[in-house]
Chains A and B, each alone.
Chain A
Amino acid sequence: MENNNVIKTDNDLIKYIRHIGDSNLKKCFQCGTCSSVCPLSTEDRPFPRKEMLMAGWGLKDKLAADLNPWLCYYCGECSKNCPRKAEPGELMMSLRRFLISAYDFTGISRLLYKSKFGELIALLAVAILIFVEWVVLFGLTPHGATLNQAVSPDKIDYFFDWPLTVFLGVVLTSFIFNMFKKTVLDDKSVKVPLKLYITEGWSLLFNFFTQYRYAKCDDDNRSFLTKLKEGKYNFWLTHLFLMISYVSLFVAIVFFLDWFQDESSLPLLHVVLFDYFASIGLVFGTAYFIIKRFTKKIERSKFSHHTDWMFVALLFLTGVTGVMLRAAIVYKYSVPVIFYIYLIHLLILFPMLVIEVPFSKWSHLAYRPVAIYFANLKEKAKKLQTAGSIAAQPETVPSEK
């Protein structure tokens, strides 16, 4: 009891947080303006005020167990209104980076976040591995008259897509379990009943597919349509468009690669969905975010870490080379042309997936909805607990025999 809750300040963590973002975290004097202007912050979760203090004190364990950074969508109201220019919004961003490295028990993401060159080397290493694999499987020049002879989709599936999918699945799942342990299991103040995991499951899917909290980032009371017209939802909708495009292409390629390599089987749905919708989403979306990051006009895009740049750049290049590859197939370019475009596409795609998905910025696609799900679970469980303890009181009256 005596040593309960002894504060351990971690000075290295403060340095690390300063390194992975541009927040002036120590300037905060805890006025709470940020939390009061935040459209998403609640009384029980007074972020980002509390996060400013925890980060300023370097409270590693408490920060690692904190879900709040994932509940923030960086509308930037806090940073705009901060009287000390402490950039609380950017701190939440930094904390998301910290959390990605905290869930990753391998320490790889910490390396990537710490060093620009580390990230480049890691990407390059994967690219070399992919190149070697390609040469071993398909050679340096195409063998065969058709694309399917030169680059067998089965081989791509067996040696590239599926191992990758399994790898990502295993790694991400283990990281998410780590997150689950830190944020839910280790929290002694609340015990989540099993039933809740199922009944709250909808929130996981709902938030994954709608990113609805983005819309709540703007808390004025005007109608949805007015705000839509004013462009208040542009960022959210673009982000959603990009995410849906990405996910649908990823699923399609992993399971229906045959179709992508064959220009003859062209059901209309596929053309519309993948050739147009998803490709446009991917290229347009990434271009939009790149422009935002260059112009720095909105709070969300004011500061860019090197991992942010790498992620959008790779995603953009993946999209562009993918579109080129598909176009080359559809417009029946010669096999060697397609062969090399294919190779280049994979040399960009795979490093991006292997490095960015579990260890870097991509992972927020997984962590965000999961975090909202966990936060919901804990909140509901707490409510049940308080309701339970109130309900439990009458039971203390001795019952009649």
Chain B
Amino acid sequence: MDNNLGVYICSGCDIGKSLNIEKLVNTAKDSAKPLVCMSHEVLCGSEGIGQIRKDMGEKGINKVVIAACSMRAKQDVFNFDPLTVHTERVNLREHVAWISPANNDNTQLLAGDYLEMGIARAKKALMPEPLVQDLNKTILVVGGGITGMNAAINASKAGYKAVLVEKNPVLGGFPNSKYKKWEINPPFDKNIHIKNGLDELINSVENSKNIKVYKNSKIKGISGAPGKFNVEIEPSSENPESPVINESAGSIIVAAGWKPYDASKLGHLGYGLSTDILTNVELEELFSELSDKGVKDDFTINRKSNGKPVKAVAFIQCAGSRDENHLPYCSTVCCMSSLKEASLFRKNNPDANVYIIYRDIRTPGEYENFYRQMQNDDGIFMVKGDVSGVSFSQSDNQINIKVANTLFSEDINLNVDMAVLATGMVPNSGEVQDNLSVTLQVDTANSSSGPAAVPVGTTCPPSIPTGTPQVNKSGLLNLSYRQGKEMPDLTYGFPDSNFICFPYESRRTGIYPAGSVRMPMDTVFSVDDARGATLKSIQCIEQTSKGRAVHPRSNDMTYPFFDLPRCTQCKRCTEECPFGAIDEDEKGTPKPNPERCRRCGVCMGACPVRIISFKNYSPDIIGSMIKSIYVPEDATDENLRILVFACENDAYPALDIAGINKINISSNVRVIPVRCLGSINNVWYADALSKGIDGILLLGCKYGDDYQCHFTKGSELASYRMGNLKETLTRLVLEAERVRQVQFEYSDYPKLPQILDDFVETIKSLGPNPYKGF
């Protein structure tokens, strides 16, 4: 392909006041011999843009280097067809003019380096060739409860076909067998039949032409990738005669819902002592039974043990919830359901006293009004406290509940006829496979080689930090992915990605959990959740069929290319891909699935033989950028060179913000944005250090339990790989301190000068890189 380079330098926004533009133009002309090299006072104005477009038309410019503002600014203006033109943005404004002293030699050097780096990259970058395919646009919905049905209907309304798989013989999910739910509209003082509107919903699902419903069915297996999932559906009850049905799908919404926490583990709360000690779900079943499945309302709630009306009932909130030994989280619905059940007791057994022992009443938002209504009932008694013991007296058929740490400032005892344990929600995210060891672990065949034996960039370091072991599950989606059968859990068994930034995202592209399988929620929230997940899955189908990435690198048209003949089958990439995008054959050769890929480049960073590359992002391209940095041989403090790899998601924007705030930053620093710290290939360290760069700083997202990495474990991997690197450095008689990773988030930008200065000081104390000038 022709490299018809055009270099355009903007002198607006203080750039011209700070730098010698003429000198920059000459630098570019001398080093790169571009077809066009010019400067303009307002490059983003119609005249500047017009000139660029004119050059493209007349001179066939296909590599545009725009040395102006940050790549994050004016994307709408410098917006050229990415398929025919490579646009390289050189950040002379935020990263040079606004952070460095004006008309200073070092500032000029900084600008010159950035320009050279941009040109180096532009020369090597290729235009993406998107994988445009005619893909299946059906949405597979797993689970026919409130969330699943709503998702299917939303998909249908948006013009997409849906396949809905429900394991039970009937649609409706949890509410199907229950009695009433709480009022969700003012004045919040009554309850409504839970089936209110449910039949309508079921009818519209079953009568929709766009929705194919498989009841009494489950997923036998799913293979493929977004846009071409192959789904095997089998009957949920064992019936050898029923056939396995094959369906195709473009994306998947998992609305498998929840199951109540196993109350048999709650012996300390008296479960099992008496038939009158039940869980909230069992109480719902009792209500449902007494009301003839919601037909009659005027029933008396009788004790299960002797059939006499209940006179006193106690609700024990957080039964097994918010408890490290059971469910460490809050299920959000138990407070409301207990209050609702309390109101049913008060209505049906007007003489009954209802006691609620809570740790905190959590009735978010408008639900607070329902709580207030119930609170004001003279027969409902609530107190904060910890249940310290539940006993049952056979002789008088009474349940005794001991409550400690109450707000009465003393321990109390309650005698009741019935006790209800408000148990929490457990996500139906697959069954844990006890017989299989944890996946995603170090592959023993390869890890035995160890990190110490081989030089930088050519070694197979042991893969995968073991900090976040994944539990091996199966039984829900049964994916035929190399990394396991189900979506990985984020925490507590909920298959999420990082829901602060990307709700509905799992760590499997094109598979979106919604409803209470994603996080505990009630039906009202589930309806909203179904909406969000449907939009996500539509987005995924449409983007994928255009060859574009979905979240978070939306619209990226590149994808990793594997030069397989050179592959050593080390399996680094197949193990480390955060999204399980890469399968492998029996020899260990990767089988990439570009539709599952999110273009983070973690595989590229992992590959010891550098066979993985993107058209515009590769070990070679970034290597060229590093090599184009001018490193003065004269080793003074001013001439120290620090290379910063900045994550494009948080660190690079933070650097921009520092620029916008005109925060002074050391001119020793050269920044290269990376897709993710996980995409940093160890060869770059070698490139930089052998060139005489004095120190390398990695600015990237927080990792660990509450990680902020957009690709879930890129920054963690970078840190892990650096561990191996340091041993190599030591052997090269280079100090390990020359490479440092800092966990950094967007709002940390005021700390940037400090972070950089600290690192510069460290490097100063180490002295210059001895390889300078080699």
Contact = CB atoms under 8 A, between A and B. Distances in A.
Interface in B353-381: 353, 361, 372, 375-379, 381
Contacts of B383: 30, 53, 57
B400 A2 contact: yes
A9 B381 contact: yes
Interface stretch (B23-31, B185-193, B408-416, B422-430): B408-416
Given A5-B413, A6-B413, A7-B413, A30 B407 contact: yes
Interface stretch (A21-29, A282-290, A312-320): A21-29
B381 A56 contact: yes
Interface residues of B, number: 21
A14 B380 CA distance: 11
Contacts of B376: 24, 26-27
Given A4-B413, A7-B414, A57 B381 contact: yes
A3 interface: yes
A57 B409 CA distance: 14
B293 interface: no
Contact of B412 (A2, A7, A29, A84): A7
B611 to A, nearest CB: 63
Contacts of B726: none
Contacts of B407: 30, 49-50, 53
A29 B381 CA distance: 11
A18 B400 CA distance: 29
A27 B375 contact: yes
A29 B410 CA distance: 18
B384 interface: yes
A11 B408 contact: no
A46 interface: yes
Contact of A46 (B372, B381, B400, B409): B409
A54 interface: yes
Interface string B699-722: 000000000000000000000000
A27 B372 contact: yes
B187 to A, nearest CB: 15
Contacts of A46: 409
A15 interface: yes
Contact of B353 (A11, A29, A84): A11
Contact of A50 (B353, B409, B412): B409
B375 A26 contact: yes
Contacts of A14: 378
A5 B375 contact: no
Of the candidates A11, A53, A54, the one having the most CB atoms from chain B within 10 angstroms of its own CB is A53
Contacts, number: 51
B379 A11 contact: yes
A244 to B, nearest CB: 38
Contacts of A18: 378
Given A6-B415, A9-B381, A24-B376, A29 B361 contact: yes
B134 to A, nearest CB: 59
A30 B178 CA distance: 33
Contacts of B410: 5
Contacts of A30: 383-384, 407
Contacts of B408: 50, 53-54
B364 to A, nearest CB: 15
A159 B388 CA distance: 63
Nearest to B380: A26
Given A27-B375, A30-B407, A9 B413 contact: no
Contacts of B411: 5
A5 B415 CA distance: 11
A265 B379 CA distance: 65
A358 B265 CA distance: 58
Of A7, A15, A54, most buried by chain B (CB within 10 Å of CB) is A7
Interface string B660-680: 000000000000000000000
A29 B375 contact: yes
Contacts of A26: 375-378
A5 B361 contact: no
Interface in A1-56: 2-7, 9, 11, 14-15, 18, 24, 26-27, 29-30, 46, 49-50, 53-54, 56
Given A30-B384, A53-B407, A53-B408, A9 B353 contact: yes
Contacts of A84: 372
Nearest to B410: A5
Contacts of A27: 372, 375-376
Contacts of B353: 9, 11
A29 B376 CA distance: 10
A5 B412 contact: yes
Nearest to B361: A29
Nearest to B384: A30
A163 B377 CA distance: 48
A9 B381 CA distance: 9
Contacts of A15: 378
A26 B346 CA distance: 15
Interface in B378-425: 378-379, 381, 383-384, 400, 407-415
A50 B235 CA distance: 59
Nearest to B407: A30
A27 B601 CA distance: 57
A106 to B, nearest CB: 28
Nearest to A49: B407
A49 B407 CA distance: 9
A6 B414 contact: yes
Interface string B226-260: 00000000000000000000000000000000000
A30 B414 CA distance: 20
A7 B381 CA distance: 11
Contacts of A50: 407-409
A24 B411 CA distance: 26
Contacts of A2: 400
A341 B343 CA distance: 61
A18 B376 CA distance: 12
Nearest to B372: A27
Contacts of B375: 26-27, 29
Interface string A258-272: 000000000000000
Interface in B38-77: none
A2 B361 CA distance: 29
A30 B381 CA distance: 12
A399 B410 CA distance: 38
Nearest to A28: B375
A325 B297 CA distance: 70
A9 B380 CA distance: 10
A382 B744 CA distance: 56
A7 B376 CA distance: 20
A4 B403 CA distance: 12
A46 B381 CA distance: 20
Nearest to A3: B413
- Closest 10 interchain pairs by CB? A6-B413, A26-B376, A7-B412, A14-B378, A57-B381, A30-B407, A5-B413, A7-B414, A5-B412, A53-B407
9 contacts: A3-B400, A5-B410, A6-B413, A11-B379, A18-B378, A30-B383, A49-B407, A50-B407, A53-B407
Given A6-B412, A11-B379, A15-B378, 6 more contacts: A3-B413, A3-B415, A11-B378, A26-B378, A46-B409, A57-B383
Interface of A: 2-7, 9, 11, 14-15, 18, 24, 26-27, 29-30, 46, 49-50, 53-54, 56-57, 84
